[in-house]
Amino acid sequence: MKNLIAELLVKLAQKEEESKELVAQVEALEIVVTALLRQMAQPEQQALIESIEGALDDVHPTTDVSDSDAALLQQYIKKLLRHPRT
């Protein structure tokens, strides 16, 4: 029983580490995108945002992706593009 608990704790620690790495990657990408958008002139920035949003509208998620997951992704992309980090 102790071995099972120890194994579960090790697996939990690994998952937590993977989660931290993913959070760091997402935050890094958010910073990069925000910096790139800020360097663009307003008309170019608007054209890029509209292009990305149009491409998202054209994508139809597979049955493997739930509607709520697709909506969440669109929500975060819109937030990133329309209301970048300060």
Residue 85 has a pLDDT of 63
Mean pLDDT in residue range 7-28: 94
Q: Name the DSSP class of 18.
A: H
Q: What does the alpha-carbon distance between residue 20 and residue 36 come to, in Å, rounded to a whole number?
A: 24
Q: What pTM does this model have?
A: 0.68
**Per-residue pLDDT at 84 exceeds 70:** no
Quote the Cα angle for 2-6-10, to 5°.
170
Residue 69 or residue 22, greater confidence: 22
Is residue 38 predicted with pLDDT exceeding 70? Answer: yes
Mean of the pLDDT values across residues 38-53? 91
Q: Sign (positive/negative) of CA torsion 74, 75, 80, 83?
A: positive
